[in-house]
Structure 1
Amino acid sequence: MWDNHWMLNKFASGLFTIVVLAAVFTISPSVLNLPVFALKKVNVTSVSRVDEEFKYITREQINDLIRSEVTGSFFTVDLDAISNAFKKLSWVRTVSVRRHWPSSLEVKLEEHVALARWGNSALVNIYGEVFNAMTDKRLPEFSGPEESSHEVSQRYAVFRKLLQPLHQNITHVYFSPRHAWRVHIDSGTVLELGREQVETRLGLYVSVHNHIASQFKKQVAYVDLR
């Protein structure tokens, strides 16, 4: 490393910054609030590498929050308060706030990615977490005990994959308090899967679907696979 001038300069710059910060934090608060330490910029960006812009969080929300919550200087600004304020936005899943020397803040936000509707008014994200937000997007519906959102989300992924050969989509997954499963698909069919061997039962439905359809000459409304 000592023969690499670029690395040496980088190391020296980092060390100088640490020394300056350590010295400043031992100085009185009045010095920390001098104009020279004023915050000049707050950069708010998405953590997503795919979508740099936000889908649901608006720039108006971000700017309003910055105006109301970002107070103090580079050294006295309350990072926790800013983080907590951003977390109150309905579409924010995670927040990271840090200082960027010499005069800015870096805020990174992760938006929820909605997987389905949960109950009457909430949504569930791709991690199986329930959150309260509004969307016009067409989504499947999940129903179940409050603490079952992760399990329902995982089962949905399995059920969806099993139904792919039929090119049928799930519109509703119901998980009863007695741990029984019911699946509605966009063809209009309701599949009663019960509590045990649900994946095997759904696989059986997929394997015989075409035969059943040819026998009845019309779409079957209800199939009890228990």
Structure 2
Amino acid sequence: MWDNHQLLKGLANFLLGASLLMLLYAGGFWVTHAPVFPVKKIQIQGQMKRVTPEQLRFIAEHELTGTFFTLDIDKTRAAFGKLPWVRDAQVRRRWPDALEIAVEEHVALARWGENGLVDSHGDRFDAASDQQLPVFHGPAGAEKDMTAMLARLRQGLKPTGLAPKDIWLSPRRAWQVGLDNDLKLDLGRGDVELRVERFALYWKDKLAALPYHIDYVDMRYPNGFAVRMPDYKAPPAQVKK
């Protein structure tokens, strides 16, 4: 073997190549892990009304670890996502020492019963808000359906000048709506939009013109509706003599 110069040359070249690879690896490891490459700047982008600079600073100081190269992007994104009003956070490295973080806030659309909020995408989240918002009452998982229904109700009720205040969805997919004048609409299942349009058609000229307080309208009839007027008293029946 020791007399085989070609074999010895090949072995020497192999060892030299292996040594160079180890040196490159060691150098790369040092470059990426050395404290001389810290993250010095965090640039926040996005229109923020609910997320405060103090909250962002707290996350940056307590959750972000590592150098410019070793910082875990997914963990960083998740850390900013812990803030109640953050819907999404996109994180990018910017050479040589900066992170760019684009923050998207939740836009509150409705309340979910007594717990939590629903945003404009139909996603439920936990945060505090003093806004006057419609309230959803429905089974878990129905947030997106109720968000879509709210948009259709607002559109259908425009001619009446009324707006949804509460929306109920039963496990059997039946809809009821409480309006901002304390009137309750029973819309049932199926043909909900047609029933809202029919209510809007008769509200101003017929129902609102009645000299009685209306607290409930049942729109589930094929070609009509039923009305409950608590202060209505039927005239006494006349007895024929």
Would you call these one fold, judging by a TM-score over 0.5? Answer: yes
SS in 2 for 1:196: coil
Corresponding position of 1:30 = 30
CA distance in structure 2 between the partners assigned to 1:35 and 1:213 by the alignment: 73
Q: CA distance change for structure 1 residues 218 and 72 in 2, over 3 Å: closer, same or farther? A: same
RMSD over aligned Cα, in angstroms? 1.6
Q: How many residue pairs end up in the alignment? A: 196
Q: Which runs of 5+ in 1 are unaligned?
A: 1-23, 47-51
Q: CA distance change for structure 1 residues 136 and 26 in 2, over 3 Å: closer, same or farther? A: farther
Match of 1:195 among 161, 180, 189: 189
- Give per-residue Cα distances to partners, 1:173-197, cap 9 Å, x unaligned: 1001111000011111100001121
TM-score, scaled relative to structure 1: 0.82
For the pair 1:167 / 2:161, whether they are aligned, the reply is: yes
For the pair 1:143 / 2:122, whether they are aligned, the reply is: no
CA distance in structure 1 between the partners assigned to 2:25 and 2:143 by the alignment: 45
Structure 2 counterparts to residues 7-22 of structure 1, below 5 A: none
Aligned-partner residue type, residue 135 of structure 1 = S
Corresponding position of 1:40 = 40
- Give per-residue Cα distances to partners, 1:44-80, cap 9 Å, x unaligned: 121xxxxx3x111111110011011222221111212
Q: Which has the higher helix share?
A: 1
Q: Which runs of 5+ in 2 are unaligned?
A: 1-23, 221-241
Match of 2:80 among 83, 86, 90: 86
CA distance in structure 1 between the partners assigned to 2:194 and 2:49 by the alignment: 38
Mark the structure with the bigger radius of gyration: 2
Aligned-partner residue type, residue 193 of structure 1 = L
Q: Hey, which bits of structure 1, 4+ residues long, moved more than 6 A?
A: none
CA distance in structure 2 between the partners assigned to 1:154 and 1:123 by the alignment: 15
Structure 2 counterparts to residues 48-197 of structure 1, below 5 A: 52=47, 54-197=48-191
Identity of aligned residues (%): 39
SS in 2 for 1:93: strand
Assess if the C-alpha contact under 8 Å between 1:187 and 1:219 holds in 2: no
Corresponding position of 2:215 = 221
